[in-house]
Amino acid sequence: MAFINIKPELKQDMSRLSDILNIPEPLLTSANLNADVGEFYFPGLHPQAGKDAPAAETYEQLQLLVNGEPGLENEPWLTDTVIYDSQTLKHEIEQIAECFPFVTYHIIGRSVLGQPIYELNIGAEHAEKRTHINASFHANEWITTSVLMKWVKEYCLSLCKGGEILGFSPLRLFQMTKLSIVPLVNPDGVDLVLNGPEHLGINLEPLDEMNEYQSEFREWKANINGVDLNNQFPSFWEIEKQRKPPKAPSYRDYPGDAPLTEPEAIVMHDLIESRPPDRLIALHTQGEEIYWGYEGFEPPESVNVVQVFERLSGYKGIRYIDSYAGFRDWFIHFYGKEGYTVELGKGKNPLPIADFDDIYCKSRGILWASCFFES
């Protein structure tokens, strides 16, 4: 990771560093939480910057070093629209953590085929609230990862730049809320949909059978075992098991032989159990709707929050739908906290990337608002 060598004494005064480098102090503090004594992590620089630079002995030298480096404003990867398979995502997460060292990431578990499942964390150490957002539970809804990652980059850049977006102060959100982001819950499934089965290195016959011998895998929704990960959670799972048409692994809708049999579902379950958030957002497609209730277990504040989401997106809030055993369902049921499924876009899955700009324009406000809590 890129850092600047610095005389350790200079780091004692983060407030002064913040002033002379023109970066908010909470970002600097967060970026340097795990830094070694002579390392200084500075958000918003190109990853190459500072790597072999001489140690800064004074504040003035540090200022010169930082000012001499190119900023990130014109880096296309920060604003481009990207389609993410597991490799593309891995690469970009590393880039984000390099450029914005207040973002941390780790591998919370692995898919059936051993692909890492990443969690990103953004937020001040003492932030009191927690929001969790995930994308691509369903393989053919991979565009949700594109939306979430675009917003993560928008959030990081705007934290460094300052100012307000849609009436929110990014820095205030950073200090208010710790964000947990799992951008790709189902990496095997997404790799299958985007790249085809040949690259997976597995026996294709069972895949073809689960795919009902369709010529393409574009509509594959399940994980690579043919289990619908969003039908795997222990909240009235038996109802889904009984009524879902597939009685064996399938490209869509099979709830598994029991709750939580699949590694991806277990990872998400354990993540929530270890650090239950105050609010959970699950990104899916499609319908331009926001599901916010579940069997009356939802907390009273959900009705106000969904109104904010509706106003910012133009999407329609829906309290109850006839569905059980989902990740969000289980979360609301067992924790009694806010959970929202946001159904992005309209059409037939997989939604084409040509729809991206419209989807992003409508949904980004929900992502901003998801970090804001009324005090």
Q: Which residues are catalytic?
A: 343
In this chain, which of 138, 241, 252, 333 binds Zn ion, going by CB under 5 A? Answer: 138
Q: What are the two backbone dihedrals, phi and then psi, of residue 133, each rounded to the nearest 5 degrees?
A: -130, 135
How far, CA to CA in Å, does 17 sit from each of 44, 45, 69? 14, 15, 17
Q: How far apart are CA 297 and CA 340, in angstroms?
A: 13
Residue 333 binds Zn ion, judged by CB under 5 A: no
CB of 267 to Zn ion, least distance (A): 17
Nearer to Zn ion among residue 32 and residue 313 (C-beta): 313
Contact region with Zn ion (CB under 5 A), list: 51-59, 119-127, 282-290, 292-300: 282-290
CB of 310 to Zn ion, least distance (A): 20
Q: Which residues of 129-159 are buried (b: 16+ CB within 10 A; e: fewer)?
A: bbbbbbbbbbbbbbbbbbbbbbbbbbbbbbb
Residue 284 binds Zn ion, judged by CB under 5 A: yes
Q: How far apart are CA 92 and CA 87, in angstroms?
A: 9
Gyration radius of the chain over CA positions: 22
Q: How far apart are CA 149 and CA 90, in angstroms?
A: 12
Contact region with Zn ion (CB under 5 A), list: 20-28, 137-145, 289-297, 355-363: 137-145
CB of 341 to Zn ion, least distance (A): 8
Q: Is residue 91 a contact partner of residue 82, using CB atoms and an 8 Å limit? A: no
CB of 144 to Zn ion, least distance (A): 8
Contact region with Zn ion (CB under 5 A), list: 10-18, 180-188, 247-255, 279-287: 279-287
Nearer to Zn ion among residue 30 and residue 341 (C-beta): 341
Which residue's beta carbon is nearest to the bound Zn ion? 284
Residue 252 binds Zn ion, judged by CB under 5 A: no
Residues that bind Zn ion (CB under 5 A): 138, 141, 284
